[in-house]
Structure formats: structure tokens, C-alpha cells
With several copies, the nearest count.
Chain A
Amino acid sequence: MAERTNPKDWKSGVSPDWCPGCGDHGVLNSLQKACSGLGLAAKDVLVVSGIGCSSNLPGFFRSYGFHSLHGRAIPVATGAKLANPALNVIVTGGDGDGYGIGMGHFLHAARRNLDLTYIVMDNQVYGLTTGQASATTCMGVKTRSTPEGVIERPINPLLLALSAGATFVARAYSMEPNDMVEVFKAAISHKGFSLVDCFSPCVTWNKLNTYEWFKSRVAKLDGASHDRTDLAAAMRKALEEDPFPLGVLYERLDVPTYESLDPTLRKHGAVAGLPLGLSPEEQEELLESFL
């Protein structure tokens, strides 16, 4: 641990090709700072993403990575974590990827409480495919797929995560990078499934939820008055929209992680590293069982 300390060490050789001003730049920077701040080693970090502008993140981040299919980052990450629980597995992606096509995986992961850190760059639009409505686009917004305005109510990802049993739920904003770094550090340190929904404006396709728009609509959560272990309080906070609270809404520490309960992992640890092949005793007992 504590091997790398410079956030620059977490930069890959490829520089981000996001639009200038895209919120995702801030998320990437914060994640690099968080990892270096926690003293993680790149070799022990696996960043898994789906497809979308935001999902390009692993390519710009120096660690192991898997830039998978649209909507499938969570299952890929789940498999990797179950094969080697020693890895710090961070999932990054967009609102379309995670809350649209990926909704089912997201909520099943939450109930499962595997120790994954899920960072969603929520720009309330499909960026990469040039501006269609997503599951978090606000009612009435005109996009390329909703020229007469969105007529479905957006989902509340924090509330859904809480309802599904996520044990860590937070919100961050890419214009508040210092807070974002702290939230990321807490999320990565949390043992269990953590969601960080990041407001990460798309400057190209989202003309409503702009930096200007957010300015008066976000406020740091008051840690003193909010009990982050209280589910009901967290749900109330999750429902607040004016302003949107930033910070850790919920953290519950008494739910064991999935991997700590899995009988195989309890007995053998990381199976990815086990030698292959059955011992002579195992062979015999298996053959015997078919007699």
C-alpha cells in the first residue's frame, strides 16, 4: 500500500478526448486524487466501465481496466471481484449505461452488497450517441429523441439504490472537486456496494442541466445534522431537489459483504490465484461419488 502518491501516476498515456468543459474531466481527476490519496497501488485497482463518453474513463486511467459493453459494467466487475476479492474494483459509467439499460444489474448489485464502488457520471443525457433522453433527463426536456419534451418522470438513483439495499449512497458534483475526492475516498474505503452519483454536465448535449443551472441547486450536506446511518433520513435527503444535497447520504456498516459470506471465498480466498487441477484425493472422491 501507499506505493503511489502522485495523482499523475494514475494517468494513462492517453489523454482524455472528452469535450472541453465536460464534467467527466473533473471526475477523472478526482478519482486519480482519491486513489493516490488512499495510497492504492495501480496493480490492485481494476476500473470497469460500459459504453458511453463517461465509460471511456478507464482508457485514461492508469490501472487495470475493462471497457466492456453498454450497460454491462456491473456484471463484469462482479465476476472480477468474486474471482479476486483482493482487487479494488471501481465501476465507472454514465446514466444511460447504469440507470437505463443497466438498471437491473445496478439494483441487483446493490442488494448483493459486493464490495464494489460504483461511480456514475450522471449528465442526464446520452452523450456519446449525440443527445437522446436518458433515465435521468428531466420532464419536458427536448432532446433529439424527445423533440416535444420528455414525458417520463426521471428516476431517482439515490432513492432506488437505498431501496435496493445499497450500503453506501452519495452524491458529488464535478465542480466541487475537493468534496468529490473525499466522497470517492469514503466510497472506495467502504466495505460493501457504494454508489456515487456524480453530476457531471454534458456541455454539448444537455442545455438544461448546465453548470449555471446547478450553481443554485446544489448544497453540501450538513454532516452534523444528518445521520448517515438512518435509512429513513437518507431517503428523505434523496428526495430533496432544491437544493440537491451533496455528500454521503447513507452508510451502513453492519451488513456483511457478499464475498465475506460466500462459502468458497471464505474457505479458499481469491480463487483466481489457486493452482489448477484436482488432488489425487479429490479425484478419487469425485469418481467415487458417481459409483
Chain B
Amino acid sequence: MRVKDTLSLWVGGAAGDGIAAAGEALLKTFSRSGLHAYSYTSYQSVIRGGHVLLQMAAGSSKRLCVPDFPDLLVALNQDSLDREAKDASLGILYDKGRFTLPRQGLKPGCRDLGLPVSELAKEPLMQNSVAVGAAVRLAGLGFETLSALLQETFRGKSPEVREANLAAAKAGYDHAGKAFGSLGVRLPSGGPRRMVMSGNQAIALGALAAGCRFYSAYPMTPASSIMHWFAPRASRYGLVFKQAEDEIAAVNMAIGAAHAGARAMTATSGGGFALMSEAVGLAGMTETPLVIVEVQRGGPSTGLPTKTEQSDLFQVLGASQGDYPKAVLAPATVEEAFAFAALSFNIAEECQMPVLLVSDLNLSEHHETVGGLSLQVPITRGPYAAPGEDFRRYAVTDSGVSPRAVPGQKGLEFTACSDEHDERGDTISDVRCDPVQRTRMMDKRMRKLRTAAAMLPPTALEGPQDAELTLVCWGSTYPLLRHLMERLNEGGRERVNLLCLRSLWPFPWREVSDILYSSKKTLAVEGSAGAQLCRLIRQETGYYIPHRSLKYDGEPFYPGSTLAAIEAALGHG
């Protein structure tokens, strides 16, 4: 039997069973052992009782994604055994004193790894530590990394609790070695320690690196973790964090802060964004730099608050009445989440417009190992007026961008106005109405789209130029498709290539047209019943994507079913 050098691992249980903590311990044990790892949790918005499933993969290569099946299942309650035992291929860890492994339906060769938790730990609650210890042993890793990690994790607790958990983990580790032997897995540890990050953390980190000075928000899953990351760090890094009374206040506060000269951001999910949308137009009209993060979840309406989806694209593109310039960016990886967040501030300030950074629950909430992030990001702020000139805040320019002024500067006083206004900012919507001037001001603002287009992340085809099938996607679906593409093209085959849309507005119609009109066949893989990405592409290029794999059940795309969809599209005449 060949030794496996990757491991997929599920932890199942109820919300409140401590799955997040167990997952973090495992993830960090892997990452600190120099491995790559990826973990995604299906969770619920009810605090206790809902079923939670953490799905993890670890190995030496970065190209990892949510696994279809676990090699190893850690079941923290009976429900998890009943639901997930049938999916495990190598073995199942559980407290055999309290739970019963179903005899039927197990995969051939899957081993019963029941743990005598009551013998190994002081209380049943420590089953997590026991199981984590055992899992680390079965992954073929040493105990030291886990041990150090648990020391840290329980630093805030009493010495008794810390020691008891450490002992439980050690007991689990040793028991697994003695009682279970090897599962034929040995993860290739020993590389440098790696960072672990979620998409939302990366967004927050990118914002901080870019000099974000003001963050206002209202709690909403799955955007709240940005708030949770900022809140305890705000005073350390010179960011004012304000929890607002609602999303309308949150976005308007950010606009006020930006008007006062601070780089400002807010974040929310679909329902909150709906409430913010009027103010997106305000930022557009007053030419106020603003970054808004929209983390999509299952819709419509309250929908599936803790499930993933990609169906807010039209809401974001259509936000607010009238025509005004804005940029829409969609990172596809955690690293891009970081980089695009930082870039968003430059676009917002250089173009003096709202920039919408669109993520999805899967991208924002899953954790993975990342590397190569530099926090020394480029910062460019666009033109500022020099005092003493004949100041026209909204001077008509070729680029559409006019020199800014910030309250506190002498001699540059002006009023930003949501009504149509002239170059000085004085309103021309009423008595001084002037259709010619109005058209000039509209054209000036809309010209900024050209300026923004030049700053957007590039749009390019990945994989072999002449593949049989071009996959089209955005957001969190990308890493999976990239992975599948590599699998399908193994051995130098040119079956599949991949177009991931990262710049959504202004739309890169030239690049996308070039790619799609020279493709042989296209398959869109997107998380929207309305195929919103397909529609946007057709809107801007005329190209109709005939094959579509649309998923809107709240779960991410999984390798197996996605592969089947790709094979089907490949098979089609």
C-alpha cells in the first residue's frame, strides 16, 4: 500500500460542540508543520443544536479545496455518526463510551476507531482534545506542534483546564498509536510554518495594510467576522471602528469619514447591502471614495444566513438609481481577498468613486494556508487641490477625476451635494438648472470608468489556450475549478481551461470577448439559480454560455459533482 501524503478530514457535531476549536487546532497543527491546509465549515445561524460539519484537507501542495469525502471522520455526536460515517474511507474517531457506530453502510476497509474517552480524559467534554490528539497521530505527525498550540490556545484558562486538555490530547495521541497503528497516511511535514487565514480576515488585513482608518458596520453573517477581526485591533492600528445602528447609518458614516479624508470601508451581506444601496449612489454623485464589501450568502431575503451562494451580482451592479461610475471587484482566493481589498482603496481614491468588493460566504469564511503576503502594499491617493487656487472641486477633466479638498484645509471650502451640481459643487438641479451643464457633469463622472478600468486586476485565460472546454466562474468556485482543471489536463492533455472573472465592473468586455469567442465550448459554474454571471457576460459581450452548472442549495461546489458536470459538458456534441 502506497503511503498517502494528503489527508481529508471531517469533524461533525452540533453547534456548540466546539467544532471550530477542534478545527482550528488541527488546521494550525498542519500549517505549523509546514503543510498546506484548507477548511470549510457548514454551519447554522442557530447557536446550539444545528448540525455543523467541518471539512478539511491537508497536504504538501496548495491546490486544495473542500473534499467530497473524508479519509478520516471525527464524529462528536451520534447525529454525525448517523449522517457521515458512511462517507469515510479510512476510519472514524468517536467516543465509543457514549455513541454507537452504525454497523451498516460503511465503506469497505473503513475502520472503527472508537475512543474510550472516559478512560482517556476526565470528562466527556474533553472528547475534542482526545480526538484531535488521535487524529494528529493518525496523520503521521509528531505531538510537539499540537502540544505547543494547545498551550497557547488555553493560555487564558486556568492551569488545571490547560493541563487536563493537554493530557487528554496526549492520551488520544498515544492511544491512537497503540490501538490503531497506521492508516497508511504520512503527511510530509517539516516545511516552514505557514499562515492560516480566512477570506474575511484577508480582506480586513488588506484594508489595514492600505491605511483604512475608518470602519463602520452593522453585524450580519457572513460579513461580521471582518468586524470581529477589526474590533480588538482598531486602537492598536489607528482605525476607528464604529458599530452603527443599522446598515444605512454604517455606509453613510463611512461616506462622512471619507469626506473628512479618511480611507473608509464598510461591509455587509446582501440584505444589508440592499439598505446601503441608496448611499452607493450618494458616493457616486458626490465623488466620495468608499469601499464596500458585500459577502454573499444564500438568498433571497433572509434566505440561508449561514450558507454560501453567488446571487447578489445584479443587486451590486444595479445598486441605486441613475447612472454613476463605480468599480466592482471579486477576489477568487484568500490571497486575492487581501490584495483586492488593498487595491480597492487606491481605486476608490484615485477615481473618487465607490468600489464594491464582492465575496461569498465560502471564500470569506473558509480558512486556508497562505503565503507570500506583503503588507507593504502600494498606496496611491489621486489628486488633491493646492490651496490658493480658484478651487473647483468638481472641475471637468479628461480623466473625469477632479482635485479633492478635505475639511480643515483653508481656502478650499466646498459643499458636496447629492443634487446635480456644477464644477464648484453648487446645485444646478433647481433654480439654476442647466441641461448643458448637467450633461457635462454626467459625462465627466462617467469618464472615470475608463480611469478605473486601467486599474483593475487583469482578466486572462488560465490553462492551455486551445482546450476543448472553457470553464467560467467567479469567487470561491475558482480554486476548485483550478484544481479540477489541473487534474483533467494531467499528462499534458488540453481538455479544459479556465476563465475566472475578477473584475466585474467596468466590465473587461474586450478580454472576455476575445477569450470566449475563441473558445471551443463553454461551461459556467456558478452559485446562482438565475445564472447572473452568465447574464452579465452576455450583456457586455453578447456571448451566450450554453452549458451551466448552477448550484443554489447553500453548499459549495464539491469536486465529484463538479467533475461530473465538466465531463458531461466535454461529452456533449
Interface residue from A59, A277, A286 paired with B415 (Cβ < 8 Å): A59
- Which residues of B have CB within 8 Å of A51? 302, 418
Give A54 Cβ to nearest chain B Cβ, in Å.
12
- Shortest C-beta distance, B269 to chain A (Å), equals 11
Among A44, A72, A76, A262, contact of B240 (Cβ-Cβ < 8 Å): A262
A residues less than 8 Å from B416 (CB atoms): 65-68
B246 contacts across to A, CB distance below 8 A? 71, 100-101, 104
Select which of A61, A62, A277 is within 8 A of B211 by beta carbon.
A277
The smallest beta-carbon distance between A6 and chain B, in angstroms, is: 16
Nearest 6 A/B pairs, CB to CB: A79-B256, A276-B211, A65-B415, A79-B253, A75-B252, A263-B235
Whole-angstrom CA separation of A79 from B283 in the bound complex: 14
Task: List A contacts of B411 (CB < 8 A).
Answer: 43
Residues of B within 8 A of A44 (CB): 407-408
B214 touches A145 (CB 8 A): no
* A229 in contact (CB, < 8 A): no
> Besides the contacts A75-B256, A79-B264, A84-B407, what 12 more A-B pairs have beta carbons closer than 8 Å?
A19-B16, A19-B48, A46-B260, A46-B407, A59-B427, A66-B415, A75-B251, A78-B249, A82-B242, A128-B47, A132-B219, A145-B227
Select one of B16, B31, B259, B412 contacting A80, CB under 8 A.
B259
Write out the residue numbers on chain A whose beta carbons fall within 8 Å of the beta carbon of B47: 19, 53, 127-128, 130, 204-205
B254 within 8 Å of A by Cβ?
Answer: yes
Contact of B259 among A17, A76, A264 (CB under 8 A): A76
Contact pattern, B 30-63, Cβ under 8 Å of A = 1, otherwise 0: 0110000000000001111110000000000000
Stretch at the interface among A28-36, A182-190, A243-251, A267-275: A267-275
Query: B interface vs A, CB < 8 Å?
Result: 16, 31-32, 45-50, 193-197, 201, 205, 208-211, 213-214, 216, 218-221, 224, 227-228, 231-232, 234-235, 237-264, 271, 278-279, 282, 286, 301-302, 370, 373, 375-377, 379, 381, 406-419, 424, 426-427, 430-431
CB neighbours of A159 from chain B (8 A): none
29 residue pairs bridging A and B, Cβ less than 8 Å apart: A12-B415, A14-B427, A19-B47, A19-B48, A44-B408, A53-B47, A66-B415, A66-B416, A68-B282, A68-B418, A72-B282, A74-B249, A75-B251, A79-B252, A82-B242, A83-B264, A84-B262, A87-B408, A128-B45, A130-B47, A132-B243, A145-B219, A146-B243, A263-B234, A265-B240, A271-B240, A272-B257, A287-B373, A290-B370
Docked Cα-Cα span, A84 to B286, in Å, equals: 19
B253 touches A78 (CB 8 A): yes
Instruction: Give the distance in Å from the alpha carbon of A42 to the alpha carbon of B243 in the complex.
Output: 30
A70 within 8 A of B: yes
Cα of A79 to Cα of B254 in the assembled complex, Å: 6
How many A residues, CB 8 Å from partner? 86
Residue from the list A66, A132, A266 in contact with B224, Cβ < 8 A:
A132
List chain A residues, Cβ under 8 A from B213. 83, 271-272, 274, 276
Chain A neighbourhood of B256, CB < 8 A? 48, 66, 75-83
Q: Across the interface, do B252 and A267 meet the contact criterion of CB distance under 8 Å?
A: no
Question: Considering the complex, which residues of chain A in the window 104-155 have a beta carbon less than 8 Å from any beta carbon of chain B?
Answer: 104-105, 108, 126-130, 132-133, 135, 144-148
Q: A residues touching B (Cβ–Cβ < 8 Å)?
A: 12-14, 17-20, 41-44, 46-48, 51, 53, 56, 58-59, 61-72, 74-84, 86-87, 100-101, 103-105, 108, 126-130, 132-133, 135, 144-148, 204-205, 262-268, 271-278, 282-283, 286-287, 290-291
Q: Do A69 and B419 contact each other (CB < 8 Å), given the known contacts A43-B407, A44-B407? A: no
A133 proximity list for chain B (CB < 8 A): 243
Q: A78-B253, A129-B224 are in contact. Are A271 and B239 (CB under 8 A)?
A: yes
Residues in A with CB closer than 8 Å to B379 are 276-277
Give A264 to B208 CA distance when docked, in angstroms: 14
Closest to B381 in A: A276
Pair B271/A69 contact, Cβ less than 8 Å: yes
Q: Which of B249, B406, B413 contacts A272 (CB 8 A)?
A: B406
